[in-house]
Structure 1
């Protein structure tokens, strides 16, 4: 965290101070051996907190035939840990809402905070996590640094806050302006207040500063904000994508997010009454849930297509892989037989590629491969397929292309490859390539199987290399070879 920001926070006189009841609840939250008598006595001293706790215990949060009528019954129903967390949520929220953000409209902030808290609780329940009320409190406080920065430097912070389109953009703007984000400021503040460490850590986990949030509490907090944004920004595909990605890190799919949103909608009225804030209008709830679910399903389909595409690609160059090449050749070979249209297959090999690796290193060799693939793909039609066949050998499938047209294309590709200049450190690396091709259903050219077809192109490539490299060889209808340079 920026030392100057830390110093300003330490000297700031406008940050909220915790009331006595909040300090006592914090002590109870840090105690491993909280007695019911102590908690009930603390809550009973604050009539407003007593009323809140009773309303929570009688809300949709806790389904019970027996409705608690006093603090003791409420704590007995909710459990000690949950009661402490709920009490802590109320006392800290009241401390901030009564004192900070006076120069800014913080309505959106509080809506997101409460929606995130509800989302974290719902996601945690679906993930089977213990102490889901801890998740509620942690998610509620995850962006508390916004309020700390707004209290500390209202004039400087106001334009940064007002210009940000969403929470992620706000974090980026804060770091650009102050070299500090609200995640770090929130962590500092909650640690200073001596809240349990996992609550302070949640401020950092909410924006995944850690290398990889554990598939538990921190991942749940990281997912809660994006899921809340589904409600705040309905119809936004980018928001849906972030929510789905965050939930996937938690091990949940789109259906689980949809279920969590339904639970959130059921519990929202109780939270609106308890915190005196409108999360969304009842008339909007159904439309928001439907849009969110549609976006999540769309994102899931997109991810499935992306996964399928990645499984067909060579990781280094981005060209298709050999397995996909062979599948396409088999399919196109059958279509060529059925409809009688020509099909050409070509193989190419970078000349003396081993010497490139030996002279310049494997990193330079990889750069040559990547550059060559990008250059060649610019010359191809959308329906053409370019694949890495193995090592420095690549393959082309040219549907509907005669041997004459393919020959012209390969001569052009041979020229662009020989014109490549790849800079590695202070040296320029150049290469040439040899090409071999064969055509099916073009004049008298016929093959019995697609395997024999590929083998013919491979034999033509070998002939081109044997004849001196940097040339194109075609397999003719008599089993011989014709060379082009």
Structure 2
């Protein structure tokens, strides 16, 4: 959490704008569950600019109202007291802060870019809520606006020190980690302290800081903070749609926080496009070049489709791999061997398999522990992968047994490769705990289909033959290669 020294600098900073009286009163009423509708209308009416904004908001497509509000009471009637308070607080806060721009020290910080991103984040948070059919859309909008207020606070209280950190990266997550390393706190924590100082309602302030933490279990369903977390990445993509890495980050955040797929994200971007003009008009700020808006959705669809296909391939690959070593699993081995065996039979092609068993591996686990044993298994797999072809298949067959399929390869043609693999495994010198060096050897049994087509009728026969050869290799003293000679 934020330390006392940083908190003192925040509390004694005179450069941060103080909130106008109307905003202070609105915050007070927002924290009062029994706020009187008459008092709400009265205080909002004291600020002509705020009154005009609220009326325009009530009549925008964002609220889809069939009635037209011509005064504050009608706006409150259409929107409800809570919504009016939250909207009024959104405009009052941002209007006050935008009127007092942060000094641009060294031309690193751009207030306009900061507010464009904040407003885009508010629009994104609201669009996520609308897609999810949540009831607190205006809370999402306000929280989206102010969730990064800590960046502004950092700039005001320590412009020179913060400028170096801020200029070092354009990545939000990297910036947050750098802040924590240099200052002992990130802008999420500093922003929370500032929001508490302003007496912003607790649920809003907490959602802002929690949106910068780790994703919650999806079983909890969508929450204020999960929508806020994704809104940051949505805003980044919406503002910079031509930067492919923004879509990569958005896609990952949407998966991690909300479990969204590509189609849902496309719907959310559509909702953002519908509300964009109204939000730009209300904040009197151009969020996006109108000429580019129509192309954002088309580009998003294409990028999301690519990411979705990539994710599906990754999931498929993970389902086929052994989690510890990265070799293919037994199921994938069985399927691949069946397919390659059928091709070999159909087209009279050679096919060789090798069963590799690590000698006395139990001694490694008993002597050094399973952590060392697991690391050694992974090193063996990497050693083999570095030498085989792309079309060859290495699978973890059992505990310390691996099976290698060599399609289109006769036994004679496989000898040099298998000999290299045996020697490479013997050359592994695994340093454990900085003291012990662990070495291992392998016994290998080899069998080929074409050389013994009359005796090998199906894939199981080929496995039995390689197993028989492996047994012979072990019986011969281990660290040996044996080829099945057609005898049982």
Question: Fold match, TM over 0.5?
Answer: yes
| Aligned-residue CA RMSD (Å) | 1.8
Residue aligning to 1:344: 352
Secondary structure, aligned partner of 2:397: strand
Cα deviation digits, residues 132-174 of structure 1 (max 9, x gap): 1111111111100111111112233334434532433432443
Query: How far does the alpha carbon of each residue in 1:166-191 deviate from its partner, in whole angstroms, 9 at most, with x for none?
Result: 43343244334433321111111111
1:77 equivalenced with 2:85 (yes/no):
no
User: Who is 1:231 aligned against?
Assistant: 238
2:125 is aligned with 1:120: yes
Deviation at 1:346, TM superposition (A): 0.8
Deviates more, 1:171-180 or 1:109-118: 171-180
Which residue number in structure 1 is paired with residue 43 of structure 2? 42
Q: Which residue of 2 aligns with 1:483?
A: none
Matched, 1:428 2:449: no
Residue 149 of structure 1 corresponds to: 154
Contact kept? 1:322, 1:388, Cα under 8 Å:
yes
**Partner secondary structure for residue 468 of structure 1:** coil
CA–CA separation in structure 1 for the residues paired with 2:466 and 2:215? 51
Q: Which position in structure 1 is the counterpart of 2:418?
A: 410
CA contact under 8 A between 2:351 and 2:448: conserved in structure 1?
A: yes
Maintained 8 Å contact 1:341/1:441:
yes
Deviation at 1:430, TM superposition (A): 1.2
Q: Once the 2 structures are TM-superposed, how far is the Cα of residue 76 of structure 1 from its aligned partner? A: 1.3
Match of 1:452 in 2: 461
Q: Which residue of 2 aligns with 1:216?
A: 223
SS of the residue 1:390 aligns to: coil
Please, which of 292, 306, 319 is the counterpart of residue 311 of structure 1?
Answer: 319
In structure 2, what is the Cα distance between the partners aligned to 1:59 and 1:138?
20
- Contact 1:343–1:442 (CA<8 Å) still a contact in 2? no
- For the residue of structure 1 that corresponds to 2:456, the secondary structure is coil
Residue matched to 1:109: 114
SS of the residue aligned with 1:308?
helix
Within the candidate set 431, 436, 450, 1:441 is matched to 450
Aligned equivalents of 1:163 and 1:288: distance in 2?
Answer: 28
The answer to whether the 8 Å contact 1:235/1:295 transfers is no
Q: Which moved more, 1:18-27 or 1:305-314?
A: 18-27
Which residue of structure 2 lines up, in the alignment, with residue 359 of structure 1?
367
Choose the corresponding residue for 2:196, options 188, 191, 198: 191
2: distance between equivalents of 1:315 and 1:444?
Answer: 35
Which whole-Å CA distance do the structure 1 matches of 2:451 and 2:293 have between them? 62
Q: Kindly state the Cα deviation for residue 55 of structure 1 after the two structures are TM-superposed.
A: 0.5
Distance 1:287 1:300 in 2: 20
Quick one: structure 1 residues 445 and 368, their matched pair in 2 at CA, closer, same or farther if it must change by over 3 Å? farther
Contact 2:325/2:378 (8 A) holds in 1: yes
Q: What is the match of residue 292 of structure 1? A: 300
1:349 touches 1:393 (CA, 8 Å); kept in 2? Answer: yes
**Who is 1:130 aligned against?**
135
TM-score by length of 2: 0.94
**Could you tell me how far 1:129 is from its partner in structure 2?**
2.1
- For the 8 Å contact 2:123–2:275, the answer to whether it is kept is yes
Does residue 242 in structure 1 map to residue 243 in structure 2? no
What CA deviation, in whole Å up to 9, does each residue of 1:240-267 have, x standing for no partner?
Answer: 1221222222132211111111111111
Give TM-score, length-normalised by structure 1.
0.94
* 1:101–1:147 CA contact under 8 A, matched in 2: yes
Distance (Å, rounded) in 2 between the aligned partners of 1:181 and 1:418: 50
SS in 1 for 2:446: strand
Q: Which runs of 5+ in 1 are unaligned?
A: 481-485
Helix, strand or coil: the match of 1:194? coil
Corresponding residue number in structure 2 for 1:22:
23
Comparing 30-39 with 265-274, greater Cα deviation is found at 30-39
1:474 corresponds in structure 2 to 483
Rounded Cα–Cα distance in structure 2 between residues aligned with 1:244 and 1:34: 41
Stretches of structure 2 lacking an aligned partner (at least 5 in a row)? none
- Structure 1, residues 47-69: CA drift from partner, whole Å, max 9, x if none? 11111110100011111221111
Q: Tell whether the 8 Å contact from 1:16 to 1:100 is kept in structure 2 after alignment.
A: no
2:154–2:187 CA contact under 8 A, matched in 1: yes
**4+ runs deviating over 4 angstroms:** 209-214, 443-446
Post-superposition shift, 1:471?
A: 0.6
TM-aligned CA deviation for residue 443 of structure 1: 7.0
Matched, 1:372 2:376: no
Question: Alpha-carbon deviations, 1:100-157, whole Å to 9, x = none?
Answer: 4132421111111111111111111222322111111111111001111111122333
